[in-house]
């Protein structure tokens, strides 16, 4: 875990930026000895956001399954995808 005082961001922006990019980890900034901000590079942030969204979708799907809601078989999903591709491209989905 990388922890820096908040003044470090003003004095050492490039160093903190490089640290975030190299480690792919957030840097925690403190103010008066207390946690204040978290800084991370944009690629790491985007990956984390995508992962969180995927996890939310998986949890929702699992909750639906546990509640007995109807799901789709692999064959049904494939057929829906073929139809969607056909509609989007005007091509025949085989």
- Give the model confidence (pLDDT) of 11-51 as tens digits: 999 999 999 999 999 999 999 999 999 999 999 999 999 99
Under 8 Å CB-to-CB from 94, ≥6 apart: which residues? 82
| Alpha-helix residue ranges (DSSP H) falling in 6-94 | 7-11, 13-23, 42-66, 74-89
The whole-number pLDDT of residue 93 equals 47
Count how many domains the chain has: 2
Same domain, 26 and 50: no
Same domain, 54 and 25: no
Given a cut of 70, whether residue 92 has pLDDT beyond it is: no
Under 8 Å CB-to-CB from 40, ≥6 apart: which residues? 20, 25, 26, 27, 48
3-class SS of residue 69? coil
Same domain, 50 and 68: yes
Instruction: Give 94's pLDDT tier (boundaries 50, 70, 90).
Output: low
pTM as predicted: 0.63
DSSP label at 3?
E
Same domain, 81 and 64: yes
Structural domain boundaries enclosing 73? 44-89
* CATH for 34: 3.40.1620.10
Same domain, 31 and 58: no
């Amino acid at each position: 875990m990388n922890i820096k005082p908040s003044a470090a961001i003003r004095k050492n922006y490039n160093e903190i930026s490089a640290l975030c990019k190299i480690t792919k980890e957030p840097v925690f900034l403190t103010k008066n000895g207390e946690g204040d901000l978290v800084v991370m590079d944009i690629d790491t942030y985007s990956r984390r956001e995508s992962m969180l969204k995927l996890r939310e979708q998986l949890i929702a799907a699992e909750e639906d399954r546990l509640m007995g809601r109807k799901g789709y078989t692999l064959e049904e999903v494939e057929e829906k995808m073929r139809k969607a591709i056909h509609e989007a491209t005007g091509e025949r989905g085989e």
